[in-house]
């Protein structure tokens, strides 16, 4: 019998609104890199940059879909399809970068598996923390270089 169970809905990822200048800066940077690749006769690299820029623009404009999460003292269920046992987690951490959504990272005991990142509304964080501290250890989250770049680029 579960000691606690929480359900919430959150976006697949945190969407950051981008203005026209974001797209122009991205295109100009890609054009400069493509120009450099042509100057150095590295056409394959230039092709790679063009494809990467197209994906950067398309993915940067994508709006996240809403996902249902269910957390209990026994498991984490994501969108009704992905199931993770709490016994497989070593710890968890919470990080908020000043928005309405807080990043929750679940770290596996097996260091070969990457952490799972889910979002939860800031207003539910205290209830989540109170319930989860009976089952998992909370650790301080150290921001990685990739996360810092992601926040800087608003991607």
Domain ranges of the chain: 5-13+65-153, 20-60
Query: What is the spatial distance between Cα 136 and Cα 71, in angstroms, rounded to a whole number?
Result: 12
Average pLDDT over residues 113-119: 89
Report whether pLDDT(148) > 80. Answer: no
> Between 20-39 and 43-60, two packed helices, what is the crossing angle to 10 degrees?
170
pLDDT given for residue 1 in this prediction:
44
pLDDT given for residue 47 in this prediction:
97
Most confident of 95-104, 114-123, 137-146: 114-123
Report whether pLDDT(84) > 80. Answer: yes
Q: What pLDDT digit, counting tens, does each position of 22-78 carry?
A: 899 999 999 999 999 999 999 999 999 999 999 989 988 888 899 999 998 889 999
The two beta strands, 89-95 and 66-72, are: unpaired
Percent of the chain with pLDDT over 90: 36
- The pTM score is 0.73
| Mean pLDDT rounded to a whole number for the chain | 88
Query: What is the spatial distance between Cα 63 and Cα 12, in angstroms, rounded to a whole number?
Result: 9
CB contact at 8 A, 135 and 73: yes
For the 5-13+65-153 domain, the top CATH level (class) is: mainly beta
At a CB cut-off of 8 Å and minimum separation 6, what does 23 contact? Answer: 57, 60
């Amino acid at each position: 019998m579960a000691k606690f169970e929480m359900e919430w809905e959150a976006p697949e990822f945190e969407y950051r609104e981008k203005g026209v200048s974001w797209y122009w800066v991205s295109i100009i940077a890609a054009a400069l890199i493509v120009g450099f690749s042509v100057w150095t006769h590295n056409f394959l690299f230039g092709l790679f940059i063009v494809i990467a820029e197209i994906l950067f623009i398309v993915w940067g404009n994508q709006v996240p879909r809403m996902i249902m999460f269910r957390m209990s003292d026994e498991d984490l269920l994501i969108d009704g399809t992905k199931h993770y046992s709490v016994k497989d987690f070593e710890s968890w951490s919470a990080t908020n970068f000043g928005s309405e959504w807080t990043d929750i990272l679940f770290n596996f005991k097996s260091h070969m598996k990457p952490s799972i990142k889910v979002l939860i509304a800031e207003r539910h964080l205290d209830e989540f923390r109170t319930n989860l501290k009976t089952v998992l250890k909370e650790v301080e989250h150290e921001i990685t270089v990739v996360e810092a770049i992601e926040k800087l680029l608003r991607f």
